[in-house]
Structure 1
């Protein structure tokens, strides 16, 4: 190890906790996580700059750490943060990737005052599958597209979307009564797809919807394929085929949507214009619909799954949330009623903290830059992660614990730093659909609370698979009961 690496390593050790400071669940392989790889500099800082090199390691030959994060997710990210601090690098997917963790480092990249970080990082992972989606656009072009798209997410539009999603959610959740022991994640995934096809495209679930769902799943999972070549049967090949299916589907539906003045998102994008009269081309609409359907469908499924899991593990919070939902009466709630469900708001925010639906945000440096005194050369792939931020003891009280009250008006631990809580990203690329997503999750959980009481065994702990976005490995098995809440019954199940 060079003297420079040694000095920087010592500086890191002084300001981050030792490896043993990060406790691990029993399911995590302690020996594996503690294995050591040779520490190296990413690149030598310019002479006389007084900048530190970024330290890290390449991981296993060829694959680097590609499989490590998929297998261990949160624990892997926290161990890297403990070992190397907020700025480090690792080998993965055949590249050297700089990881930015912690509120200060992530703020620099996401605020991006000097435009040193571009969305080209996302293109490395998902360009082939989500070509020119809003998240992949940069700077002026991104601003223009976002300005037009914002017309599809106005308060009036959101009110219309909530009106359409309510009946679909109530009908779909009522159908669960035929299966009292579901794998909840998969039930929710089908349900959120049904809502997306209704609200976004004004279509009913059926054979088309099943094909669309499979295509979205294949496209999302392809982004983290280790073999990034269309080998028949491989994830990359399936993703490319999924993209073709989605392009063909939306292109066929587009002419009718251009002439339709419906309340669905597809129609809204076809008619959206900014204050200068700019509007989307047909190709823009197809690209944005593919991206938005993926973003809304998958992140809503993950968030509702995580929230439902914690409500099952903490029945006192489930009962508290249920009391507020039952107080709304039998009418399907509108946007104002959903916004009054304060307990669900607290629970959802805590679920988003504990299981961030997008655990990593990709960037690429456009020029030589520095983050917290570390030199990062131009053309470097960068991963910005909310994971360490959401478990930072400087920002959160007992961050491993489920504690929705941390978001109440008196505590507001999420205000401890601007980027302590960042499930929706930040800066110019902050999620444009965050209000829609929040309303959908609350509406979904509201209908679940009205219809069922659900539980998991006391010794059950969900384990999340990070192959693409976090998914419960076992599908989240739960026990549904259907008491007559209006009669005050306690636990009669079918």
Structure 2
């Protein structure tokens, strides 16, 4: 009996033929990750190394969710694969995901993230573990209270209206890049308290280089390589935040940088200067990159489904001309459905790495201590057991009366889960709503009927062509 005989097929899985050719045309030897302890009753984790050294890294980056889904269909919810010269155990499906993210016995650490991004996002909140993470998160929570979010929304309103209005004449802009500039302007004003301009452009380049460096196949600083560019980007960011930190300590403002400089925990704990710099670098990346991806994905679906665009526009126009506060943004129910469905179809963070700090059993499989592990939200988001027609755009699946996202605690997990669930998830949802609200007020946008966006998964998802749209001012 083969592995494929033992795993139920995902019959609703429309995968590119190239994925099948790459995965099924070349049969890499299937082996055990490690023998289970004698008498444990556990099964070994099966998988394959893929091509020498690079393993399946290139296929994963090229095909993204399609690759992850085919591996799940082939091997089931617990398997291993070679990537970046390492062996990764891949956990897919809500049940396996739940065990790793709830992490009751503290077997899974954030060391998996450190393997990928430690050199570029050193000691960011997502890289901290257990008690230290809890302490830092508790202090940082002060920056994401409802009152703080209300203050941020008052700052981003004028920035977004001015930015979207400046798109101007009818044309075919590449929407991803227009949105990236816009969200960077928001991050510059709201997070750093600085106007956009030369510094903002330089910092954006540094963030892009740092993010893309994480998936470098050559992981040492060859001149002109991605790893070297990422290290240079990190130095640029450290220098900027370090130089501006003393002024934020002396004269705090409403921006996130200032808030972190002043934030105090329940017992009077405060962040050190190094903590503030590390957290700002991580938060700036997480905030403007994920907001750009989600805004782009939602705008694409609104272009492909003009009936949803008009439905959302009617709600936005009903708010009038004032900058929307949080209560007004809460009234945009159609956008809420569209954004959630867009997050399901294009998870902004396509993998969540971990590392085991002790032997652990996952769904009856033995995973030894010291194993790199990765979780794949896309596998959960396309599960036919939890979603009706999972590859279709259907925002109503999130509406009351259906709520397919409640089919399992981890059926929908664009913000992760457990102790490390995204601390800025409400900030992100409000900002994406505000971006789309301003677009709906100012423009209509379309794409050709046969157009399909193709995502590049080299780091975080980016549309290969930048998503060209036909933009018409209202």
TM-score by length of 1: 0.94
Q: Name structure 2 gaps, 5 residues minimum.
A: none
**Structure-1 residue corresponding to 2:90:** 99
Distance 1:396 1:95 in 2: 33
Q: Which residue of 2 aligns with 1:112?
A: 103
Deviation at 1:13, TM superposition (A): 3.4
Q: Report what 1:62 is aligned to.
A: 53
Q: Residues 37-75 of structure 1, C-alpha deviation per residue, up to 9 Å, x if partnerless?
A: 111110010111110000000001121001001110111
Question: Does residue 293 of the first structure (1) align with residue 279 of the second (2)?
Answer: no
The residue aligned with 1:251 is: 242
Q: Distance in 2 between matches of 1:140 and 1:300?
A: 29
1:398 is displaced (CA, Å) by 0.2
Residues 1:32 and 2:22 aligned together: yes
How far apart are the structure 2 equivalents of 1:33 and 1:169?
44
Aligned to 2:257: 266
1:9-408 to 2 correspondence within 5 Å? 10=3, 13-17=5-9, 22-25=13-16, 28-35=18-25, 36-178=27-169, 180-408=171-399
CA distance in 2 between partners of 1:23 and 1:461 (Å): 14
SS in 1 for 2:167: helix
Say how many residue pairs are matched: 473
Tell me, which stretches of 5 or more residues in structure 1 are unaligned?
Answer: 1-5, 484-494
TM-score between the two structures when normalised by the length of structure 2 = 0.98
Contact 2:170-2:470 at 8 Å conserved across structures: no
Is the 2:170–2:472 Cα contact (8 Å) retained in structure 1? no
Task: Determine the C-alpha separation between the residues in 1 that align with 2:251 and 2:111.
Answer: 35
Instruction: Give the deviation of 1:470 after TM superposition.
Output: 0.5
Q: CA deviation at 1:29?
A: 4.8
**Displacement of 1:33:** 3.3
Look up the SS of the partner of 1:440 in the other structure: helix
Find out whether 1:472 has 2:463 as its counterpart: yes
- Give the secondary-structure state (helix, strand or coil) at the position aligned to 2:168: helix
1:433-444 to structure 2, matched below 5 A, reads 433-444=424-435
Range with bigger deviation, 429-438 or 56-65: 56-65
Between the aligned partners of 1:25 and 1:170, the Cα distance in structure 2 is 39
Deviation (angstroms), 1:21 = 5.7
RMSD: 1.1
Query: Does the aligned pair in 2 maintain the 1:22–1:82 contact within 8 Å?
Result: no
TM superposition shift of 1:31: 1.7
Deviation at 1:16, TM superposition (A): 2.5
Cα displacement (A) at 1:178: 4.0
Cα distance, 1:259 vs. partner? 1.4
Find the residue that maps to 1:34 and give its secondary structure. helix
- Matched residues in 2 for 1:14 and 1:454: separation? 47
